[in-house]
Amino acid sequence: MKASDINRRKFIKGSTAVAGLTLLAGLPKETLAAYEHLPNKANVIQSPDSLVNPIAQRIKFGVIGINHSHINSMVDAVVRGGGEFVSFYAKEPDLAAPFAKKYPQAKLAESEKVILEDPSIQVILSSIIPDERAPLGIRVMKHGKDYLVDKPGIITLEQLAEARKVQAETKRIYSIMYSERFENKGTVKAGELVKAGEIGKVIQTIGIGPHQINPKTRPDWFWDKKRYGGIICDIGSHQFDQFLFFTGSTEAHVVSSQVGNVYHPNYPLFEDFGDVVVRGNGGMGYVRNDWFTPDGLGSWGDGRLTILGTEGYIEVRKNIDVGLPDKGGNHVYMANNKGVQVFDANKDNLPFGELFVNDVINRTETAMTQKHCFLATELALKAQKNAEVIPLKLS
């Protein structure tokens, strides 16, 4: 077995927490109105770590490309929302075998074409290598199917232009799974508080996305910017999604951005640090991404989101709270004119799966609008392309 195959096998091992999103402040009025009329929101199961008693199956979906383990939580979310997992295709046998074992209900297809041309399948999910995601999505839409892809869902402005063009022509859904919002209960809770007006009007978001690098577990493509898009394009896509969502911005531009490889000279095509200042018509934002999470933390990253409002602020400790390490993540801290409150969101619901399936059936935009999806991507891509290169070298 080649070293690259071993790396891929290690990389796909395990699954992330099953997840989704709720409708929060900042979405268009028509989207919020659509959410209020969704049938029986209580049907979202209480435990996101189990597939017991999912909503009755209402659509069929397939998977093409499983190069990142995020595909597991994507599949689980759609199954819980009413999707029947029919078939999948992966060109790497070492990835396909454990995936087939995890999802025995899905048949392994002989080719991508078999799934694309199956008339019973309405949606394709994918976590294929990032530079292949947009071309696959374009093929999916041209076959009359909707598409849910892992982030980064698009890695160049040229890919984005083509995806926008085909989406407008076909009217299919091109959705990107921004897991730091859709799959994090603390972020969901923060959105509920913002929507309820607990901190007034949002002024600014500060989103940080630190990650643990674990070099021995990474496949070859992980180190090549041409394949993963760069640190802002990749990790930063999460923070742009949240910035737009919480500020309610429908227009925005990048004020400044910088990227660099300050400590990994053995991987010259890699970026380990990046940050951005962004401004929109609903507020302002700051983004920081890095690959410097220490091994002793006990989590892959101390992801945080701070939301500043006119009457208070909220901080989300997404994956771990260093003051409460045995309690995990999903902790939300809020200070406003009434006082200080702490929320443990671990038992809250994650309704993305149901919302997404409803959108597929009803041709609505309750999970995420198409405009929002593409704008978050556009901001990340422009910040990446125009970033100043940091000359600092600490190795």
Check residue 25 and give its pLDDT: 38
Map tokens 């009457």 to a residue: 311
Check residue 20 and give its pLDDT: 34
What whole-number distance in Å separates Cα of residue 191 and Cα of residue 181? 9
Residue 83: its H or E element: strand 83-89
What whole-number distance in Å separates Cα of residue 286 and Cα of residue 239? 8
Q: Where are the alpha helices (DSSP H) in the chain?
A: 3-12, 29-36, 70-80, 93-102, 112-116, 133-142, 157-170, 179-182, 185-195, 225-228, 231-234, 236-247, 352-362, 370-385
Check residue 57 and give its pLDDT: 85
What whole-number distance in Å separates Cα of residue 194 and Cα of residue 191? 5
Each residue's pLDDT tens digit, 74-105: 999 999 999 999 999 999 999 999 999 999 99
Strands of the sheet with 202-210, listed across from one edge? 339-344, 331-336, 312-317, 304-309, 202-210, 284-290, 273-280, 252-260, 388-389
Check residue 326 and give its pLDDT: 78
CA distances from 101 to 63, 107, 373 (A): 15, 11, 32
Largest CA distance in the chain: 61
Check residue 53 and give its pLDDT: 52
**384 touches 256 (CB < 8 A):** no
Each residue's pLDDT tens digit, 222-266: 999 999 999 999 999 999 999 999 999 999 999 999 999 999 999
DSSP state of 291: S
Q: Which pair of structure tokens corresponds to residue 191?
A: 């959105």
Counting as low any pLDDT under 50, the low residues of the chain are 1-52
Check residue 48 and give its pLDDT: 35
